[in-house]
Structure 1
């Protein structure tokens, strides 16, 4: 899926470059060979090219890091808000992966940031402070951790009680005077070495006081030997603190940045708001109580690893509509998910949910529970789309049975079709084969079956081993049939598609594209098939249920 990845990448900041690798790894693990355009120095100032990329992509992902803040630059905040706001205006799904937000000082910037984040499909925050402050806006805001801990591979331990003190200061904020203060303070008490997080910036400042050390990039990549050890680390750099925690080195975070404070809280470490003489007492205290702080680090790392698991779920968000977890993914994402599921040796169920199904499920608890346990539920019906908009203020795109059949057939592969009359299903097969040259129809059957015939069809499905199985018997008959497929141990992706074969056979025509764009296909079908209107008795009950839910909410 074409994706625009937004972040502060390509500026030799070790933490951000490591985040880029982690984010790309996560995206590629969810979608192999995905087309990802990354915001880099080479393209971030080419506004028209950037607008074109946003227009042609299918989604925008805000990568890990603290991009939405005014501490370093208000201009950068508005730059990122412009990109995200344009994506939202163009109705591109936006997601946040392991993001930190703030500090944002002025009320106008906070209001704009709130407005943009409220339109995201889903967000995972990397720290408690960001999550607490902004989690009220997206329906699915998740508390995660820094992406450093996603699929975490332990670092080589770097603690040694006899090692030097490691110092890593944010030289975009700290001054040469601060470095000299540290130098004067530590030289009288502790041997110390520098840790440069921003190549070409931090190392230059350290060289000005004739201090050598390690590059954070090497530490984050695990490129260090047994001689690289520290008794303690003091740092105003977020990712240096993270590496220290992961490598088992007690640290003292420095500065007014809330994200460094949150790290000290998570990992049970000390924090100082400024560099004063008391830092010497803090270092002595931490070194004398190293075992306690190392135990706290281990506990914090375990928590961070556990929290990091939520990041993978961000790109597959759902909304709870009357207890049904309805996917908000566009059709392209749904098709990608189905393709990935088809590679697994199991039965995957997709439910195309509409208001009639919701009301019918109320009458049958077992069926209700079974439907809710489907691997994926999509909104097939304007009643469900309307509910998402009224309940969650989310305008999700409907994914109809016809859309799914057409999309899956474009993927190619083996399919098995069940539904309609004998003539109808035969005509549908001919139509689909004509339209999709790479499609292999390995079997088909009418949907009007006796119990004995159902058994025979299930055996044919097991023998032919299709990748996708379309069952068009109407609800709830098709669901009962799919239950039998499940009991028989059938493998593949099975989708209940209702009466779509009546369209593919040519018995009924689909609504024109302009009618579908107005989301009035249901009204068109009612006008073309007046007998369908007699089945709309559930609508007043559904509207009453929705209204009651909104009042109670």
Structure 2
């Protein structure tokens, strides 16, 4: 039996990260059907129940030692685990898990990670030292590879693939339609999904976004639907923007699982998003996206699908948001270009699991 341990930001109720775990598990089990998988989680009971795997607590050091000591491969990822913007503590936590595995002589793969931002010299030096001892690295964009090389990671193969979530397939729209039925949206011309998040008290964008959404409603007959990727934090941000609007948006106010979120976004005509995996989900459902960047990972993903962000949380205008969204709504040829790029990225994402399999066979 092949034993794998997966380390990442799992078990914290973040829809994007839970979708990432589901995508990794699906891809791995497709190539290694007999895999015995243990996930390191912030909520091991919930992770085990939701994903059908073994799980150990994030700070259960005995459980982690036991799992890594018995494993054939540690997978670190996906996501942006190695960065020092949100927390130095989390950076060193993930590095300690990697170091534990390499000390035990285990194979270690960084799986479809986005590297950085890493702003502190000491952090960059330590990341370089730790990662030079792993077995294989796949990253989700060219910028991440460049970052690793700049930090001196030269002893390990580095391959650019794509975000792990992109391996997922579209889901049935019936689920989303059922969830939206109470809001009576069947008669509207366009449905504009919006996914927002609070980020370091950036609030300047709220009034610009509210103005753009009102304009979409007034001029194009669009119904705005706020979709939370992480409840209740995203719902709170959505309500703050709603308070600035003249039109009446729908604000969905509960936690949804991955399938529900994919289906909800698939029921939209376009998605305006701040969160990365909201943009990814909509793209997977073959819907056009308008991205507002707060982090390089947003810009990197948009570049991969041939787009630019319409602005950042600190520098954005209502006119730019409106113009980009209206252009997608009224130009179906642009939508088809995105679909073609997403299909290519899906193939790239599936390579991550095949690379993991090659490490197990070596």
TM-score, normalised to structure 2's length? Answer: 0.77
Residue aligning to 2:195 = 168
> Cα deviation per residue 1:430-458 (whole Å; 9 max; x = unaligned)?
xxxxxxxxxxxxxxxxxxxxxxxxxxxxx
* Cα distance between partner residues in 2 of 1:196 and 1:138: 41
Structure 1 equivalent of residue 313 of structure 2? 274
> Is there any run of 5+ residues in structure 1 with no aligned partner, and where?
318-328, 335-377, 379-553
Q: 2:278 aligns with which of 240, 246, 254?
A: 240
The alignment status of 1:128 with 2:142, answered yes or no, reads: yes
Question: Does the 8 Å CA contact 1:166/1:233 hold for their aligned counterparts?
Answer: yes
Q: Distance in 1 between matches of 2:265 and 2:116?
A: 36
Alignment map for 1:19-168 (pairs within 5 Å): 19-42=20-43, 43-134=57-148, 137-150=154-167, 152-155=168-171, 162-168=189-195
Structure 1 counterpart SS, 2:335:
helix
When the two chains are superposed, the root-mean-square deviation of aligned CA atoms in Å is 3.0
Q: Distance in 2 between matches of 1:138 and 1:220?
A: 42
User: Match for residue 52 of structure 2?
Assistant: none
**Structure 2 CA distance for partners of 1:204 and 1:193, relative to 1, 3 Å:** same
Q: Deviations over 1:299-329 (max 9, x none)?
A: 3213202312321232244xxxxxxxxxxx5
Residues 1:197 and 2:229 aligned together: yes
Q: Name the structure 2 match of 1:388.
A: none
* Alignment partners' CA distance in 1, 2:3 and 2:130: 21
Residues 26-76 of structure 1: per-residue CA shift (max 9 Å, x gap): 222233332211111141022343233323333211131111112221211
Contact kept? 1:155, 1:246, Cα under 8 Å = no
Residues 251, 269 of structure 1: 8 Å contact kept: no
List alignment gaps of at least 5 residues for structure 2. 44-56, 177-185, 218-222, 244-248
Q: Equivalent of 2:339, from 283, 295, 298?
A: 298
- Note if contact 1:118-1:137 (Cα within 8 Å) is conserved in structure 2: yes
Secondary structure in 2 aligned to 1:112? helix
When residues 26 and 277 of structure 1 are mapped into structure 2, their CA distance, relative to the original with a 3 A threshold, is closer
The answer to whether the 8 A contact 1:60-1:93 is kept is yes
Bigger RCO of structures 1 and 2 (CA < 8 A, at least 6 apart): 2
Rate the CA distance shift 1:185–1:275 in 2: closer, same or farther, 3 A. farther
Question: Is the 8 Å Cα contact of residues 168 and 235 (structure 1) preserved in structure 2?
Answer: yes
Give the Cα separation in 2 of the matches to 1:225 and 1:312.
Answer: 26
Return the offset for 1:259: 0.8
Matches within 5 A, 1:12-23: 12-23=13-24
- Measured in 1, the distance between the counterparts of 2:155 and 2:209 equals 43
SS of alignment partner, residue 9 of structure 1: coil
SS of 2:190's equivalent? coil
Query: Closer, same or farther in 2 for the Cα pair 1:176/1:285, shift >3 Å?
Result: closer
Q: Is the 8 A contact 1:142 1:310 kept in 2?
A: no
Q: Distance in 2 between matches of 1:174 and 1:298?
A: 34
CA distance in 2, matches of 1:109, 1:241: 29
The offset of 1:198, in angstroms, is 0.8
CA–CA separation in structure 2 for the residues paired with 1:94 and 1:221: 32
Distance (Å, rounded) in 2 between the aligned partners of 1:169 and 1:16: 16
Q: Could you tell me whether the CA contact under 8 Å between 2:27 and 2:350 is conserved in 1?
A: no
For residues 399-445 of structure 1, what are the alpha-carbon distances to aligned partners after superposition, in whole Å with 9 as ceiling and x for unaligned? Answer: xxxxxxxxxxxxxxxxxxxxxxxxxxxxxxxxxxxxxxxxxxxxxxx
C-alpha separation between the residues in 1 aligned to 2:26 and 2:146? 27
Contact 1:165 1:234 in 2 (8 A): yes
Quick check: 85-94 or 206-215, which moved more?
A: 206-215
Q: In the aligned structure 2, how far is the partner of 1:141 from the partner of 1:220?
A: 34
Distance 1:64 1:225 in 2: 22
With structure 1 as the length reference, what TM-score do the two structures score? 0.52
Structure 1 Cα separation of the partners of residues 5 and 259 of structure 2: 28
Whether contact under 8 Å (2:7, 2:40) holds in the other structure is yes
Q: Is the 8 A contact 1:220 1:243 kept in 2?
A: no
Aligned counterparts of 2:354 and 2:206: Cα–Cα separation in 1: 42
Is the Cα contact below 8 Å between 2:197 and 2:237 reproduced in 1? no
Deviation of 1:80 after TM superposition, in Å, equals 0.5
C-alpha distance in 2 between matches for 1:32 and 1:299: 30
CA contact (8 A) 1:194 1:212 kept: yes
2:181 alignment partner in structure 1: none
CA distance in 1 between counterparts of 2:77 and 2:265 reads 30
Q: Is the 8 A contact 2:111 2:139 kept in 1?
A: yes
